[in-house]
């Protein structure tokens, strides 16, 4: 049976009523809902959206790769952590071009 894009999938959230979305949740479901959250100016929404986008393979991965260049270091680091274990060539290339060492902190000096 072919996939119906209008049917909810395993990782989809549910579209709610007219109340504003909770600060720590995503209410619009599917890839479109994750894209909307990713476009939000609040970095908390963008970080949450990344964990959903990663489940949508190629289309979601493209957006997570874009997040490696996000103005927020927190979003960049979240994207890196999600992408680093994916063996897809495009993802591996993006990881190679990304410098995670700037997130390291010197604990001891000699």
Question: Which of 11-20, 29-38, 40-49 bottoms out in mean pLDDT, i.e. has the lowest?
Answer: 11-20
First to last CA, the chain: 63
Q: From the DSSP assignment, how many helices (H) and strands (E) are in the chain?
A: 5, 0
> Exposure of 60 by Cβ count < 10 A (0-12 exposed, 13-18 middle, 19+ buried)?
buried
State percent of the chain over pLDDT 70.
75
> What residue has token string 């994207």?
79
**Higher confidence at residue 42 or residue 22?**
42
Q: For position 102, what pLDDT does the model report?
A: 85
């Amino acid at each position: 049976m072919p996939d119906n894009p209008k049917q909810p999938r395993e990782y989809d959230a549910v579209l709610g009523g007219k109340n504003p979305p909770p600060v720590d949740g995503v209410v619009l479901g599917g890839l479109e809902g994750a894209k909307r959250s990713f476009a939000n100016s609040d970095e908390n929404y963008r970080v949450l959206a990344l964990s959903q986008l990663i489940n949508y393979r190629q289309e979601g991965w493209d957006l997570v790769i874009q997040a490696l260049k996000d103005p927020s270091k927190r979003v960049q680091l979240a994207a890196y952590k999600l992408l680093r274990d994916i063996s897809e060539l495009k993802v591996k290339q993006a990881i190679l071009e990304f410098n995670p060492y700037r997130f390291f902190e010197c604990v001891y000096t000699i």
